[in-house]
Structure 1
Amino acid sequence: MPTDRLAPDIDPTSSTAPAPAATPEAGPDPAAALAAEREHLAVSRAALRAMREHAQSLSSDAAGDWVSQQILQALLDQRVAALADHAGTPLFFGRLDRSADDDLPATIHVGRRHVHDDRSRPLVIDWRAPVSRAFYQASPADPMGVSRRRRFGYHGGELTAFEDEHLGQGQALQQSRILTEEIERPRSGPMRDIVATIQPDQDEIVRADLAQTVCVQGAPGTGKTAVGLHRAAYLLFTHREKLARSGVMIVGPNRAFLSYISSVLPALGEVKVDQTTVAGILGEHSAPEEPAVSTIKGDARIVPVLERALWMHIVKPVEGVLFTKGVNRYRVADHEVREIVASLRGTTRYGPGRAALAQRLAHQILVRMEQRGESPDDRVQDAVARSKPVRQLVDRVWPKLTPAQVLYRLLSDAEFLAAAAKDDLTADERAALLWARPAKSFRSAKWSAADGALMDELADMIERTPVLGHLVVDEAQDLSAMQLRALGRRCRTGSATVLGDIAQGTTPWSARSWTEVLAHLGLADGAVTELTLGFRVPREVLDYAARLLPSVAPDLAAPRSLRPGAGSLSVRPAPDLAASLAEAAAEALSREGSIGVIVPDASVAAVSGMLSHLDHRVLSPDSVEEHRLLVVPAGLAKGLEYDHVIVAEPADIVAAEPRGLARLYVVLTRAVTSLTVLHTKDLPAQLAG
């Protein structure tokens, strides 16, 4: 799938153009055309209000019982929420004048959601509808039945400008002035949708079939995150009934990132989508652990170790079971029990196997009852399976286990670990995994983030993990093999949209190829596409950051930007860091837009102190502070963006972690308008000169 023409992560809801403007093709009276479009916008807003009021007037009392009423009311509440009209968000952003001979209207306004009047005539067509595809894909070479495409510019929700392309006349596509102004407009707050500016190749990704897993390798500023979110919105629209049952989940790297993207799907009318982190799925475990130990735990080689550790808890039966009913006694001999256990072991998950053992024993007892002329039914078998003699035998032979119990024994018992590991782990690796001071029991154990993935693997070996219809995973290059396996289990019968950038991999276990990532997800047939052309990061900034690529991802093509960004980069020695930071921050505050001061994690408190005379906040791992001036730990910068970025001490960012150069690459590509680099120490050799 070609991906050379891409849109940035921008909000098309307002244009910097303060007055009406139009291309010469707009007609003899552009002002009249603009007035007509404003009238259509007003009519559409009134119709949307009427649709919402109608949804609010509906009652769940018509449902037959209380449960049905609750379900119906929840659906009505979702409908009302989806019909919310956001004052600063235009209902439509484009228009198609169609020459196709079909039953559809000759003029279609394309927007974020469908709007119709009281006679069910469409005023705005949802951007995800098949007919709207022409807005993104039509070209002079293939007009797709469109004679004219019109784009609108907005300011504060008010329609201010439009541009026309006469595709039927073979008019060459040109860079949109409205689009250019939107790219360069200062922004603040959460991420916004790009529904008005999706480019043809992005649209191909967004509209890929539900059954197809798509993996997007996206350089900074290419809009990969926005494309993934819009794909989720498109799939929910196209496969509403199916995905309403199975669900869609967005998985991001941290809560700050989720807060940043939280407004995109609701703005597109999708209010029922789970957004979480890997820790939110696997458990908020935070016990400190050496990176080398986490790397071993994150390696897929540990899967057979876990499997053996679980099944080693089954013991060889040494006695049979005796069931008494009245004066009758029914016995299943020890050798028969061993045969049943052997037939079940390894052929099913641990939990169902344990239940099946009880039922198989009960069945053998029922056979003996029938041999004596009795006529037991299924209720009798269930009662026997729950009886004390059967339960006691099952508990001895096939004990009930939790993932924490198994992992606790594995990490605290050297002999058990050695037996479970066999040749899959070296002696040094086993020694590294063993706890130096084990907790008294699994209930009091302190688990690390890597342990969460191991327990999730064990949980799936015990009971099957529920699956989702579609999973969107961002920053996937930073996940370990075991974390990827955990996510893959949740879409084993569905599909996924996998997003990331190999060059931005910052964990010790970061993936080196997307083939490897897809294999661990269990989605090896996924299609990989690469986005290298971006709009968000100025070219001068991106070229500077790209000097690091040969060291962090030599196989990737260098990213390109359509924004020259002359004067956007400043690299300054800073003999007095506090004074230089204060000067750079004051300079940024004199301009429009958000400001991120990105510093080594260990320096956050010190830098905050240096800026104490300025109104600022420190970004925390749990949320995005909506403040103009933020001090941002380098470890939280991934996925975020600011109009003006000030980076302090690149050398310390590199030295703080094994993949420090990749972290620095992330940090240097967060700027939308300007990047200032301050250093008291020598810059990394890759950036010298």
Structure 2
Amino acid sequence: MSVAPELRKEQEYLAAAREALRRMREQTLSLQVQAHDPISAEHLARTLHLRAASLADDPTTTLFFGRVDTDQGERWYIGRRHVADTSGDPLVIDWRAQMSTAFYRASRSEPMHVTLRRRFGLDRGAITAYEDEHLQDRAEQEARSRILAEEIERPRVGPMRDIVATIQPEQDEIVRAGAEQTICVQGAPGTGKTAVGLHRAAWLLYAFRDRLARSGVLVIGPNRAFLEHIGAVLPALGEVAVGHTTIEELVASVPVRGVDSTETAVLKGDARLAEVLRRAVWSRVGRASEALVVPRGSRKWRVPAYEVNGIIDELASRGVRYDAARQMLPQRLAHAVLLQMERAGDSPDDRVQDSVARSSIVKRYVQSLWPALDPRAVLFELLSDPSALATHAGNLLTEDEQQVLLWDKAPRSKGAARWSVADAVLLDELADHLERTPSLGHVVLDEAQDLSPMQLRAVGRRCTTGAATVLGDIAQGTTPWATDSWEESLEHLGKPGSHVEVLDRGFRVPASVIEYAAQLLPHMAAGLGAPVSVRENPGRLTISGTAPGEALARVVDVVTAEVAEPGSVGVIAPDAQVEAVSKALSDKGIEHGVLGRDHGDVEHQVDVVPASVAKGLEFDRVVVLEPAAIAAAEPDERTGLRRLYVVLTRAVSALTVVHSEPLPAALSA
């Protein structure tokens, strides 16, 4: 088949860019590490390794996806990374560069000096078509991009892809917001909020690499299945040094072996617990009733109790952490002794002060007034001793609430305690009272609506000197402590007054699916607007009712038909029925994975997904089993409907709902 001359020229340009990238990587690999010391050599070797990794070419994707021609006679190809020729002239401009902004934001009303924007149709790394927009031609009719729509709807199997070729103007504004700015994105299903957050991390590392490479960037997601789903996005953009974790892993300091009741977990996540814990820590600082007496040579130097208490009060009011103030106390006491020596005519120096501070007498005295603490011991006492809890929580928690917190049967020691997930968050708070938690340069927090106030505080401690990108959807809150207010969540995060951006244009979820799921919104998120699908393809929605006992067989039949087409298939079932679904598929010879069980395996065309793990995932086609059972598994009706809303909005192209139980009333209308 003959190729049009213009298309052939673009294909040849891509081949030249690929060859230039190969040369850049080979040159990097050929560099010899030369340094004066082992530490510098190791740092340089790591830098070169990361550089080489970022220059690896993926033959399944193209190096560029767009082109802009300007009214100044310039032409720029926009791609995933910068590629230069042997003279250093750019062949491809990194999508994060300032000059790439026009590719995403230029319009006929504001062309930004762009005369032509060209999008490339791609197939397995090859350019197969192109589509032009003449932004300064008033006679040309505005039209939706076919290539853009095909890229959004292109079937996929495996982890989430990057969206650099399809970033929309409102998304690009969030991606390129300043490094000092914390942004909260309220994004309905299919609006690309997760992808926007990840691309923002990549842009920040590009624009502020020196600072953020040192301080670090961390992505926090709701569970491991979600992190495995998104784990390929940043490496595909050339960023391989970004950490990924869950909130449970973030605060893990003890083995989690206990399970709280819903009532207890909600209370442990309450922001009032922060003050209870603060009081429990600082109450350990004692008051001196006897003077400090320090023998030195033939004399004894005496620091009276009132002076010691003055030093303690001053240290406690400085706003430093408990351990930092405790470490200052010996030196402050030794300095008081030094002043007495000077008044007596001696001429002591700093070595004398250090010697006094390190003496066993001063150490014992400090330990009696300002003891070393272990977070586990402090929390153990609070949860096992009613009088201790009442002392610190008396005017903050009611007697009934205090009873909820206390263990029914207290373990004999902190080593025997069965700590829960919520306890680990409290221990993290206590640890921060003792020693300041190191801050990262930037934190991307996804599904933030599901975090308790105490969990948000734990995240906030990791970005006290940096900013955060907070992503979520209030309508998808499925924990008993899910927020109804982003302003309140940002307050707990330590970022009050941060900008809240609303994304309500759905690019991933088709209109028929959005409209079906949106029936739930008035019942579980009153006042929250329904997302609007901007895709021309309405997608496919099928509601399949069955006789009792036949739903599982119908699911197998639907999946058998779906796997004949390219693209991923997600079978989302009530958690209690996941094993039965997996067995039914296996009996029919349908290869599949089970997310949440097969950790790290996201390469199957078919995945069985527990409803509790579905948040943040997306599949080309989704089969949902027994919506009523999914909703009923949650502790209350509102949370159940929110869980169901999440489940119903995971499809990019088609949704099939299979049920033998009656559908929830909100979906039956």
TM-score (norm 1): 0.93
The answer for the alignment partner of 1:209 in structure 2 is 178
Counterpart of 1:353 in structure 2: which amino acid?
A
The answer for the alignment partner of 2:6 in structure 1 is 33
The answer for the alignment partner of 1:608 in structure 2 is 582
Q: Does 1:261 align with 2:230?
A: yes
Is the partner of 1:645 in helix, strand or coil? strand
For residues 528 and 172 of structure 1, the distance between their equivalents in structure 2, rounded to whole angstroms, comes to 34
The answer for the alignment partner of 2:196 in structure 1 is 227
The answer for the alignment partner of 2:32 in structure 1 is 59
Q: Does 1:636 align with 2:604?
A: no
The Cα offsets for residues 80-119 of structure 1, whole Å up to 9 and x where unpaired, read as 1111111112111111111127xxxx11111111111111
For residues 343 and 52 of structure 1, the distance between their equivalents in structure 2, rounded to whole angstroms, comes to 58
Out of 560, 563, 584, the residue aligned to residue 586 of structure 1 is 560
Query: How far 1:536 moved relative to its partner?
Result: 1.1
Out of 297, 310, 321, the residue aligned to residue 326 of structure 1 is 297
Query: How far 1:168 moved relative to its partner?
Result: 2.3
Which region of structure 1 is more displaced relative to structure 2, 613-622 or 474-483?
613-622
Counterpart of 1:168 in structure 2: which amino acid?
Q
- Gap change, CA 1:488 and 1:75, over 3 Å in 2: same
For residues 595 and 373 of structure 2, the distance between their equivalents in structure 1, rounded to whole angstroms, comes to 41
The Cα offsets for residues 480-514 of structure 1, whole Å up to 9 and x where unpaired, read as 00111111122122211110000000000000011
The answer for the alignment partner of 1:88 in structure 2 is 60
CA contact (8 A) 1:260 1:624 kept: no
Q: Does 1:434 align with 2:410?
A: no
For residues 609 and 67 of structure 1, the distance between their equivalents in structure 2, rounded to whole angstroms, comes to 53
Q: Does 1:247 align with 2:247?
A: no
Query: How far 1:620 moved relative to its partner?
Result: 1.6
The answer for the alignment partner of 1:166 in structure 2 is 134
The Cα offsets for residues 402-454 of structure 1, whole Å up to 9 and x where unpaired, read as 22121111111100000000211011110010011222222332211111221
CA contact (8 A) 1:251 1:473 kept: yes
For residues 668 and 354 of structure 2, the distance between their equivalents in structure 1, rounded to whole angstroms, comes to 75
The answer for the alignment partner of 1:546 in structure 2 is 518
The answer for the alignment partner of 1:525 in structure 2 is 497
Q: Does 1:271 align with 2:243?
A: no
For residues 585 and 116 of structure 2, the distance between their equivalents in structure 1, rounded to whole angstroms, comes to 53
The answer for the alignment partner of 2:359 in structure 1 is 387
- Gap change, CA 1:519 and 1:249, over 3 Å in 2: same
Counterpart of 1:271 in structure 2: which amino acid?
V
The answer for the alignment partner of 1:157 in structure 2 is 125
Out of 596, 616, 619, the residue aligned to residue 620 of structure 1 is 596
Which region of structure 1 is more displaced relative to structure 2, 117-126 or 579-588?
579-588
The Cα offsets for residues 137-176 of structure 1, whole Å up to 9 and x where unpaired, read as 1112222111111111111111111111111223344211
The Cα offsets for residues 282-341 of structure 1, whole Å up to 9 and x where unpaired, read as 116352111110100111111211111111212222323232333332222333222222
Is the partner of 1:169 in helix, strand or coil? coil
For residues 567 and 90 of structure 1, the distance between their equivalents in structure 2, rounded to whole angstroms, comes to 27
**Structure 1 segments unaligned to the other structure (5+ residues):** 1-18, 21-29
Out of 663, 678, 688, the residue aligned to residue 643 of structure 2 is 663
Counterpart of 1:158 in structure 2: which amino acid?
A
Is the partner of 2:285 in helix, strand or coil? coil
Counterpart of 2:116 in structure 1: which amino acid?
R
For residues 383 and 597 of structure 1, the distance between their equivalents in structure 2, rounded to whole angstroms, comes to 69
Which region of structure 1 is more displaced relative to structure 2, 309-318 or 200-209?
309-318
Matches within 5 A, 1:212-611: 212-283=181-252, 285=256, 287-347=258-318, 348-563=320-535, 565-566=537-538, 568-575=540-547, 576-611=550-585
- Gap change, CA 1:173 and 1:268, over 3 Å in 2: farther
CA contact (8 A) 1:475 1:500 kept: yes
The answer for the alignment partner of 1:6 in structure 2 is none
For residues 539 and 57 of structure 2, the distance between their equivalents in structure 1, rounded to whole angstroms, comes to 39
Is the partner of 1:183 in helix, strand or coil? helix
Out of 101, 125, 149, the residue aligned to residue 133 of structure 1 is 101
For residues 636 and 620 of structure 1, the distance between their equivalents in structure 2, rounded to whole angstroms, comes to 7
- Gap change, CA 1:549 and 1:286, over 3 Å in 2: farther
For residues 577 and 479 of structure 1, the distance between their equivalents in structure 2, rounded to whole angstroms, comes to 34
Is the partner of 1:647 in helix, strand or coil? strand
Q: Does 1:674 align with 2:654?
A: yes
Which region of structure 1 is more displaced relative to structure 2, 346-355 or 396-405?
346-355
CA contact (8 A) 1:139 1:173 kept: no
Counterpart of 1:306 in structure 2: which amino acid?
L
CA contact (8 A) 1:538 1:673 kept: yes
For residues 70 and 240 of structure 1, the distance between their equivalents in structure 2, rounded to whole angstroms, comes to 19
Is the partner of 1:496 in helix, strand or coil? strand
The answer for the alignment partner of 1:11 in structure 2 is none
Counterpart of 2:656 in structure 1: which amino acid?
T
The answer for the alignment partner of 1:5 in structure 2 is none
The Cα offsets for residues 49-84 of structure 1, whole Å up to 9 and x where unpaired, read as 1111111111222x2211111111111111111111
Counterpart of 1:591 in structure 2: which amino acid?
E
Counterpart of 1:109 in structure 2: which amino acid?
Y
The answer for the alignment partner of 1:43 in structure 2 is 16
**Structure 2 segments unaligned to the other structure (5+ residues):** none
Alignment length, in residue pairs?
657
For residues 348 and 230 of structure 2, the distance between their equivalents in structure 1, rounded to whole angstroms, comes to 60
Query: How far 1:565 moved relative to its partner?
Result: 4.8
Counterpart of 1:618 in structure 2: which amino acid?
V
Query: How far 1:624 moved relative to its partner?
Result: 4.4
For residues 344 and 121 of structure 1, the distance between their equivalents in structure 2, rounded to whole angstroms, comes to 59
Out of 168, 172, 175, the residue aligned to residue 144 of structure 2 is 175
Out of 166, 176, 197, the residue aligned to residue 166 of structure 2 is 197
Query: How far 1:566 moved relative to its partner?
Result: 5.0
For residues 625 and 286 of structure 1, the distance between their equivalents in structure 2, rounded to whole angstroms, comes to 28
For residues 488 and 126 of structure 2, the distance between their equivalents in structure 1, rounded to whole angstroms, comes to 48
Counterpart of 2:50 in structure 1: which amino acid?
Q
- Gap change, CA 1:578 and 1:139, over 3 Å in 2: closer
Is the partner of 2:465 in helix, strand or coil? coil
CA contact (8 A) 1:279 1:285 kept: no
CA contact (8 A) 1:257 1:624 kept: no
Counterpart of 1:272 in structure 2: which amino acid?
A
The answer for the alignment partner of 1:654 in structure 2 is 631
CA contact (8 A) 2:510 2:539 kept: no
Is the partner of 1:558 in helix, strand or coil? coil
For residues 556 and 251 of structure 1, the distance between their equivalents in structure 2, rounded to whole angstroms, comes to 25
Is the partner of 1:545 in helix, strand or coil? helix
Is the partner of 2:341 in helix, strand or coil? helix
CA contact (8 A) 2:21 2:55 kept: yes
